[in-house]
Structure 1
Amino acid sequence: MTPPGFEAGQACGAAAAWDEQARIAALESYSILDTPPERAFDDVVRLAAQICHAPVAVVSLVAAEKQFFKAEVGLGVRQTPLDVSICAHAILRRGLFVVPDTTEDRRFAGNPLVVGSPHLRFYAGALLETPGGLPLGTLCVLDYEPRPEGLTAQQGFALQVLARQVMSQLELRRALKAREEDAARLAESERQFRILADTMPQMVWASRPDGFHDYYNRRWYDFTGMPAGATDGAAWNRMFHPEDRDRAWGRWRHSLATGESYEIEYRLRRADGVYRWTLGRALPVRDQQGRIIRWFGTCTDIEEQKQTEERLRVSEERLRLALSAAEMVGTWVWDVPADRITADPGYARLFSVDPEAVGEGLPIASLLPAIHPEDRPACQVAINAALRGERDGAFEAEYRVVLRDGNHRWVEALGRCERDAAGRPTRFSGVVMDITERKQAEEAKELLARELSHRIKNIFTVVGGIVSLSTMGLGAEVRNFAGVLRRRLNALAAAHEYVRPHSADSRPAAIETTLHGLLGQLLAPYAEVGSDHVRLLGDDAPIGVKAATSLALILHELATNAAKYGALTGPEGRLTITGLRRDDRLVLAWQERGGPPVAGPPERRGFGTVLAERGAITQLGGSIAHDWAPEGLTLTLDVPLERLAH
């Protein structure tokens, strides 16, 4: 902003560099424009007028379209248009701005306030400047008579000091208002939190960063029967079963020391004296510097769940006993501290070991050699993971067992390693089943799938050849069309390799690459990716061998439907696919525009659509959402990155 008639070098001090938009934003942040008079500012202008022996003194704030006088003496108005403002020139220079005689300064000689009432002849203004160096206006004094000598040194110094006092008042005013607003927001937030916490079925608590518990919701007091405040501080630990107190206290101290989340199961005393199993969880709340400022936790009654788990354990034990009589199933129990495995005759039969010897107990090292050498390392890794307590001690493995006659059979082993209170492995039990016939069936199925895939690809090849033969000798336009058709047929053949089920041996190498690579392969039969018709935007992500088939089925189904009914049915259609990483998830948006109008969700879902949705939920652990807008379908696929990479 440069007022008319301004020329560099005509005011005292060096020219300042700032952005007008930022200056206006800074002025508005003080919420001072168009506010009524305040004594703190009125006193400043009266003192300035007395010190400078001036009939007029003003606190002038230069806004976008006007100058507003927060305080004035001798002027009689609260604002003037910006085009008559002398202060608008003063803010363009740092320091003190002095005009000894306005009639001799061509910038102001024609100013209506100079040539007309009140006939201002002298001006001196001290800059009102934010801590960030943005000028808001001036504290100025004016006279009806020229002052060739300007202000004395003492008057100039005093005017600048008073200008700083004006800025201090503005900063104080803004700080007080911000504090009041923050206190209203904090009180409302706390009120809403307490309402929410008191209506939750769980027990909710909070503590200071040092672990001092200072809040519990209503559910806590209803459950425990304790009076308000009785469990503050460390007194909460008295509510636990005596056998669980040291463990719970130790886990809480660990979370306080490391900042890790808190999770533990313990028995909590109810108001009637009965102890019930409870799941305790807590997470830290951190400030912008990463410092913990609060802990918020919950206690969930899981007594029924524990009882169900016990009933399930008994049921599993009964099942183990029942399976022990089956011909192709065996059970085993490993006493880990003693390193003794005892097993039933079914186990002995599968592993070609003496039933009496394994019935009395054998060290695990004597049984591992029965596992095929190629499968032994992976099996050992699974055993060690269960011993360490990974996946809650669950054990699962498929491997070949070498029989005494040199042949081998496939078995599947399932089990779980139990641990004592100190976390040491104790009892490792499980079941082993002969799955040789299943494996043979899977191999036959894979062979059939390969043969079927081979024949399907041959069909694509034959059709492509027929197209080529049919266009020989025809015009260039027909040959070009035939070339496009052949390329689409080839792309469909390549995409077929993604959507058919694969084994580890038959899976194409490209299937383990990225989302964009898979999309390019699947969409190639319909339009060139990167053209006006199909665009891939946003984030890419790696795709693992397990997720590839399910994802390919979903995308192939979408592309097929788009070509049949949606955006890829005509030349005006547009398909935009956008990937967005959100923490540990990938959100894929499939948006169709320019196709036939959409009347709403289809009345019937085809088999392919149902299969694709089930794959998204069960295989990928994700979700699918449809928006059937009139202008086109928008589908959102939300998948965990971890599942996508498997």
Structure 2
Amino acid sequence: MTADRDLGSEARQMLAERTADLQAAEAANEALRRANAELRASRAALAASEARLRLALGAARMANWEWDPIADVVTGSEGREALYGRPPGSMRSAPEVLAAVHPEDRERCAATIRRAMERMPGEEEFDAVEFRVLHPDGSIRWLRSQGRITDRDPLTGRALRAAGVTFDITQRREAETRYRVLFDASPFAVIVIDQATFRILDVNTRACRDYGYSREEFLSLLITDIDVLGDEAAIRARGRAHKTGERTQEFEAVHRTRDGALRDVLVRVEGLDLGNGRVTYGAHIDITARKAAEVELRRSEERLRVALEAGGLGAWELDFSRRRTRWDARLAAILGRERVDAEVANEVLSRCLEPADLPAVQEAFRQAMATGGDFAAEFRILRPDGEHRWVRCWGRLLPDQHPGHRRMAGVVADVTEHRQAEERQLLFMREMDHRAKNILAVVQAALRLTPRHDADSYAAMVEGRVSALARAHTLLAENRWTGADLAALLRAELQPFLTAAPEAPEATRILLEGPALTVAPQSTQALGMALHELATNAMKYGALSTAGGHVALGWEVTGEALRLRWEERGGPPLAGPPPASGFGTRVIEATLERQLGGTVRRDWRPEGLVVEAMLPIGTIRAR
């Protein structure tokens, strides 16, 4: 019984162990089934991923590659050879790849490979090169290949493997070519700079031509190297001062070319954000010739202004189609009006003319417009203060591209003084005619009344009186017949008698004293004749007939009269008035009393003759 119990216990234990082994086997099988399922899923996902990658690479015309430089074996994704226009499996080594590159770009690609292989450990940078390939159909495609060393010998650092991608950039290069053609075709210089560093990033062909630098030379410069400001802070301040928009500026600058010449440029810039930094796209228009022309224009305008001012001319411009007028400051002064900086209606200028002269001026304008000839007219203007002025106006039609737009420009001169001078000249001629007749009448009277008892004495007396008339005439002529200074007249008439006595050479024979006074032309000759007769009489019979005699001649204005006083001293004693009036007395009466309307009083004192005349100042003084 005991043995049977032991045997049953062992059987149960064995059954339990086998059951556990079976359960473990089933669990392992289940785990294996799950692992297989996951593996199949991973393989499916990988296949899908590879399919998507192939689709992506194909759509992007891109392929990846690997290169074993030791064995010189090149592998890659499907379509790699197609990018080169070559059949699959035809590019398994580096020489075969280089053979597919355009001959002009082949050495540059080889140099890129050599440079990548020479890099030291730790310099695992991407190397890239862009190149052309020639397809069998004759088309040229642009490719870009870039990669890096992915595996090195741990002992020597020698490159064991490289990997990278190659993709088609033909569309980008064509777009860049179109951009470059348009960029270089710009009629003005374009300079692109880095806003942060002021480094020149790109220029077009016109910039190279204008500044004398090659493109490579330009790209080694900063904008401060060509801008005469030469200072970054000053350039930024100028830009801020000339902002025309949020990111736009416009200003004038002076730039230095490669040979050191200075050029004036108009700069229009636009700030652009390219993602990896902000740049400034600047159009630089050479305005040196324009600035020189502006300077010359200003000089020409200044010369014209000086010429107009020197000639007293005012400038004007009429726009007949728009009925507007503009005039300058000089013409405004002639018109007695404020300067017009803006255009005004033509009627404003018309109202400046004397109404009686306006029809003739308008007719002259119509004639000039109808014939295309010049306009010229002389007319009166009425100033706001009521003064009338004479002006002479000249004008000429301006050439214009628009037939309906007719303008005329010209100048105006104030000829009032000229007209007054002409009027004075006319009056002068009339006065001269009148005076010539008077002088001839006076000379005739002098000839008739001068005593003829002695031929020599007669001739001397006639010559002295005619000389007195001539001296007065000379003074009036020197003053354009506007009058004569009284002191100068008296001095001229008495000059033949102003001699010193031999025994007193410093003594003055005739003393003159009186205020300044301008004598009217009609009174000059009368005063001259009268004073000549007084001096002649003093020389013959009075104070001037002896060595120690002298005459004091004074004058003053008292109220409405000129008081003349002739006083002789030191001559022969006088017993009284002469028994009869001589020629000199008759001349004084004819001139001072009848011609000038004055009164004459004579006093024959023992010590000498005193003559005092009171003459109306209105007749004597020049107006």
TM-score bracket for the superposition, by shorter chain length: under 0.3
Give 1 or 2 for the bigger CA radius of gyration: 2
TM-score by length of 2: 0.27
TM-score, normalised to structure 1, is 0.26
